[in-house]
Each structure stands twice: as structure tokens, then as C-alpha cells.
Amino acid sequence: MTNFVAIEKGLGPGGRIAVVRFDRGDGINALSPEAMRQLTQAARGFEDDADTSVVVLSGAPNAFSAGFDLKDPEGRSRKSMDIGALRRHLKLGPRLAQAWQDMEQITIAAIEGFCIGGGVALAVALDFRIMSRAAHIRIPEIGLGMNMSWQSVPRLLHLMGPARTKQAVILADQPISAEEAHAWRLVEEVTEPGSAFDAAMTLAAKFASQPPISAAMTKLTINRLTHALDNLASHMDVDQFALASMTEDHREGVAAFLERRKPRFRGR
């Protein structure tokens, strides 16, 4: 099994910063099912880590993540799954995002290059996002005949409000520049190209200097208040995704993506 995730601990003030690097070494850094499992395990590995106060998540130098890997054999096998197996498999993404949101440590995403689809879903599950000026964000799920899943819509809504969330999610072909993402409150800081990680470490050092227990309890309180109704609002998004994946529009959207052409949707 190839290891896509590397973890380094003991950095920064008091050794209280950890870095999780996700890099498949393929230039696009797509989220295959195995990559999602490894990133989920990485987040859960900090559950009993009292020595780490802040975790910085970085992608590849030119790609935070291209989102779900539509070409991965395990992912493509969804087409032949029965509804029960499909629902179980579709829980990989929500489980990944929830694992990162539930971490007691402050979490910061350092975004270089592109951040697309599932990459966005992962990034908005973290506490902060720092983005290179040369990077962009895109949420293509609607354009592929799917819905934005992984319980990401409530997270986007908390950050941007309803109008910008509709604009970002429904206008699937619209890339969101770093400047737009900052203006829309989707990211907290924009840096020069190649500097997102350094800026994330600078912010991490500020948080790592605070009392760890008080910081963790305060984060928990803020998250519980912010996300109190998220499960209620998005409890059906896995089933919506499963239903959407059975439509002709979804098959057409994926085929058009793989064939590099404009899709022809028919509402069925």
C-alpha cells in the first residue's frame, strides 16, 4: 500500500505544531478512497495527542487537491454497487471531513495551486484556510450531475452566507480566485505564490503559544454552537448523492469530464 500522508510533529513553540502533508506525487493530488482513509486516520491519530496544539494540513506544491479521483478503480466500482454497498462507500468522504472538524487541535489548511470539489470539502472542515494568490477553488459537483456532499454545504454556509454558497456550488464551472475567496470569507488570508505553508506556520505559532487546554475547550464551544444544526440540515446528503449518481445527467457529466467536452444535461 502506498502511503500518501506524512506527519511531522514537535515543531514550533514548545514543539506544539504538527504538519500533515498529503501528496500523491502525481501533480493533481486527487482523493482516492485509500487517500481518504489515510487522511481520516491521520486526523484521528491526534485524538489523544496532548502535546500538539495546532495541525497544519498541506497538499502538493502545485495542488492542494483535485477532489475525488474519478479514475480510481475502487471509486469507479461504485457504478456496479447495490444501493447498500454504495451508501457505505459514500460515507468515506463525510467521515474524512468530520474527523478533521472534530479535532481538538486548531487546524489550518495551506492551499497552493488548485483546490477542487472534495479538496474544498476537506478544507472547509478545518478552522482556517490560507491560500496562495496563484491558487483557485472550484466546486464542480453540480456540473458532474451530483450534489455537494460530505456535509459541506452547512460549512460553506457558515463561512460565506447563502448567496455566495449558491454561487460557489451551483455555478460549477466558475473558478474562485484567491482574492474572491478572501472577499467571500472562504479563506482567511491570501499570500504570495509558494508562501501559503509559511504563512500557515506563522499563524500556527501564534495559536501554539496559547494555553492548550483553554484553547481546545474554546474551539469546542465555538464549533458546537456553530455546527449545532449541521447534521439535521445535511443528514440526507449521502442519500442525495447516491440518488444523483443513478441519473443520466450524472453519467453524462462524468463522461463529458473524462472526454474533455461540454456536457449535455437533460434533467433525467
**Can you tell me the distance from the alpha carbon of 210 to that of 155, in angstroms, rounded to the nearest whole number?**
26
Listed by start position, the domains of the chain span 5-213+232-259
User: What order do you get walking across the sheet with 128-132 strand by strand?
Assistant: 5-11, 17-22, 54-58, 106-111, 128-132, 189-191
* Joined grid coordinates for residue 44: 484521528
pLDDT of residue 54: 98
Q: Is the pLDDT of residue 91 over 90?
A: no
Mean pLDDT of all residues in 255-259: 78
Q: What is the pLDDT of residues 204-232, one digit of tens each?
A: 999 999 999 999 999 999 999 999 888 87
Give CA separation, 151 vs 6, 90, 228, in Å: 26, 12, 13
Q: What is the largest CA-CA distance in the chain?
A: 58
Q: Which of 139, 132, 92, 96 is nearest to 117 (CA)?
A: 139
Q: What is the pLDDT of residues 127-150, one digit of tens each?
A: 999 999 999 999 998 888 888 888
Name the fold adopted by 5-213+232-259.
2-enoyl-CoA Hydratase; Chain A, domain 1 (3.90.226)
pLDDT of residue 79: 67
pLDDT of residue 259: 79
Mean pLDDT of all residues in 5-25: 97
Average per-residue pLDDT in the chain?
90
Burial code (b: 16+ CB inside 10 Å, e: under 16) for 73-112 equals: eebeeeeeeeeeebeebbebbbebbbbbbebbbbbbbbbb
pLDDT of residue 69: 81
pLDDT of residue 80: 67
* Percent of the chain at pLDDT exceeding 70: 96
**Can you tell me the distance from the alpha carbon of 20 to that of 58, in angstroms, rounded to the nearest whole number?**
6
Q: Which of 47, 245, 227 is nearest to 149 (CA)?
A: 245
